[in-house]
């Protein structure tokens, strides 16, 4: 995910990001990416930049690497009485 941050910075964005996971309940292959921006319009310009062929190519390579790492599991919390 830090590599994705580097790709975002190359695309011209320097906002702060944070990644959240939950290994204690539900599907454990989910990751939430949180962005901290001063102006919500920055998110709109991010999506416009992501449409450029150069940025799409960089993310396509990154996504292919990430897809090889994803393993699915379902987590359940049980109380034994």
pLDDT of res. 44: 78
Using one digit for the tens of pLDDT, what is the confidence trace for 50-75? Answer: 778 888 888 888 888 887 877 776 76
Q: What is the mean pLDDT of residues 28-39?
A: 76
**Residue 81 in domain:** no
- 8: buried, middle or exposed (CB in 10 Å: 19+, 13-18, 0-12)? buried
Q: Which domain holds residue 64?
A: 2-75
Task: Give, for 28, the enclosing helix (H) or strand (E).
Answer: none
**Residue 22 in domain:** yes
pLDDT of res. 79: 64
**Residue 63 in domain:** yes
Within 10 angstroms of residue 71's Cβ, the number of other Cβ atoms is 7
Number of domains observed in the structure of the chain:
1
Give the length of the chain.
81
Find, among 26, 25, 23, 33, the residue nearest to 1 by Cα. 33
Using one digit for the tens of pLDDT, what is the confidence trace for 6-21? Answer: 887 887 777 788 887 7
**Residue 10 in domain:** yes
**Residue 80 in domain:** no
Per-residue pLDDT band for 77 (boundaries 50, 70, 90) equals low
């Amino acid at each position: 995910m830090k590599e994705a941050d580097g790709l975002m910075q190359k695309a011209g964005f320097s906002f702060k990001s944070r990644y959240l996971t939950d290994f204690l309940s539900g599907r454990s292959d989910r990751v939430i990416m949180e962005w901290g921006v001063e102006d919500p319009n920055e998110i709109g310009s991010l999506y416009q930049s992501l449409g450029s062929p150069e940025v799409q190519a960089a993310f396509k390579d990154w996504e292919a690497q990430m897809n090889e790492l994803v393993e699915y599991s379902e987590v359940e919390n049980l109380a034994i009485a």
